[in-house]
Copies of this chain bind each other. A is one copy, B any other.
Amino acid sequence: MNARLRDVAEHAGVSVRTVSNVVNGFRYVAPDTRTRVQASIDELGYRPNLAARTLRHSRTGLIALVVPEIDSPYFAELAARTVRIAQHRGLTVLIDQTDGDFERERLLLHGKRGQLVDGVLFSPWAVAPADLAARTDTVPLVLLGEHDGPAPVDHVAIDNVAAAREATRHLLATGRRRIAVIGVQPRTLNASARQRLAGYRQELEAFGLAPVVDRERPVRRLHRSDGYQAMLELLDSETPDAVFCFTDQLALGAMRALAERGLSVPDDVAIVGFDDIEDGRYSVPALTTVSPDKDQIASLALDALAAQGKPPRSIIAPHELIVRATT
């Protein structure tokens, strides 16, 4: 068994109170008492028991980051930044992976974690705003990414409509007219996808072009294979001169399909992605993409968590279009 506060106290010949004071850096401890206690601590290898502390303070210093999949590059990069920023603030991040499973997401929302964490950063995939509203758990919650409909929770996202318009405008500006999109979500789950689609349509319309239904390709998930598949389907009907993919992963999959069909990027088909994951910076050719400011997202979300209690806010993080070699 590990040494307890009392063991140290006995060893040093003082009371537990004094040891506690030393451990917590309390000011009023006689210097030599402090030295003696510290020596006992070292000798016994004492480590404070976090569970007991938590029970006392009813706060754990732990926050949960809930994502569909941690090995999806966007989430991996977001997680890395979140962990780093949280560390700076004295917080530890516990990562939960739902695999996009509705039941797991619901469980998490309703406090499966018990009082283990002080707050939850939640990137939903399957649950809808209504589920959020029905939440019974009381731990502070901040939503990551778009969601629509009124839900009584803070959320941090970029302006997806504006970002999609910029991406589309850029494609139009480089002379493309047959612009397709890949990444429409079949079920109405994914608000980000819906907003990106809306932005794309708006910009087309503003330019005087009518949307073509066959150019709006749905995908089941947002993996490379889905982008690959969707691109092949797109090529079966008509070859577009540009494709706006709702994630970089989809874009990379699409590029692979183009390469296999012997089509050149960007000469035959221009590609724009979304997320600015590292792979896109090193793909051949390098991927033009919408870059959400992930540091800001993490940072703002952590702020929102800390500021809970105030009325729920909708926080917009910055983004920018990064033009590389695919356009």
Question: Known contacts A94-B92, A224-B278, A279-B279: does B111 contact A47 (CB below 8 Å)?
Answer: yes
Q: Does A232 sit at the interface, judged by CB under 8 A?
A: no
Q: Does A156 sit at the interface, judged by CB under 8 A?
A: no
Q: Does A93 sit at the interface, judged by CB under 8 A?
A: yes
- Closest-by-CB residue of B relative to A75 is B76
Query: CA–CA, A60 to B138, complex, Å?
Result: 21
Q: Which of A62, A83, A224, A286 has the most CB of B within 10 A?
A: A83
Q: Does A259 sit at the interface, judged by CB under 8 A?
A: yes
Q: Does A169 sit at the interface, judged by CB under 8 A?
A: no
List the B side residues contacting A115 at CB < 8 Å. 2, 47, 49-51
CB <8 Å contact, A47 and B114: yes
User: What is the interface residue range for chain A against chain B?
Assistant: 35 or more
List the B side residues contacting A252 at CB < 8 Å. 279, 282
Query: CA–CA, A259 to B259, complex, Å?
Result: 14
Instruction: Pick from B50, B55, B84, B137: contact of A114, CB below 8 A.
Output: B50
Q: Does A69 sit at the interface, judged by CB under 8 A?
A: yes
- Closest-by-CB residue of B relative to A224 is B282
Question: Known contacts A94-B94, A97-B80: does B284 contact A259 (CB below 8 Å)?
Answer: yes
Bitwise interface map of A from 31 to 66 toward B, beta carbon under 8 Å scored 1, else 0:
000000000000001011111111100101010000
CB <8 Å contact, A79 and B71: yes
CB <8 Å contact, B51 and A55: yes
List the B side residues contacting A62 at CB < 8 Å. 94
Instruction: Pick from B2, B58, B76, B99: contact of A73, CB below 8 A.
Output: B76
Q: Which of A70, A87, A92 has the most CB of B within 10 A?
A: A70
List the B side residues contacting A55 at CB < 8 Å. 49, 51-52, 55
Question: Known contacts A256-B284, A259-B284: does B49 contact A70 (CB below 8 Å)?
Answer: no
Query: CA–CA, A99 to B84, complex, Å?
Result: 9
Q: Does A237 sit at the interface, judged by CB under 8 A?
A: no
28 intermolecular pairs with C-beta atoms under 8 Å apart: A45-B136, A47-B114, A47-B115, A47-B137, A50-B114, A50-B116, A51-B60, A51-B116, A52-B55, A69-B80, A70-B79, A71-B73, A71-B77, A73-B73, A79-B95, A80-B97, A92-B94, A92-B116, A94-B95, A224-B278, A252-B282, A256-B282, A256-B283, A256-B284, A256-B286, A259-B284, A279-B279, A283-B284
State the A residues within 8 Å of B (CB).
Answer: 2, 45, 47-55, 58, 60, 62, 69-71, 73, 76-77, 79-80, 83-84, 87, 92-97, 99, 111, 113-116, 136-138, 224, 228, 252-253, 255-256, 259, 278-279, 281-284, 286
Given contacts A71-B73, A92-B96, A224-B281, 16 further A-B contacts (CB under 8 A): A49-B115, A50-B114, A51-B54, A51-B115, A69-B80, A73-B76, A76-B76, A84-B97, A93-B94, A93-B95, A94-B94, A256-B282, A256-B286, A259-B284, A283-B284, A284-B284
Q: When A and B form their complex, which 5 residue pairs have the shortest distance between CB atoms, in order from nearest?
A: A71-B80, A51-B54, A76-B76, A50-B114, A51-B55
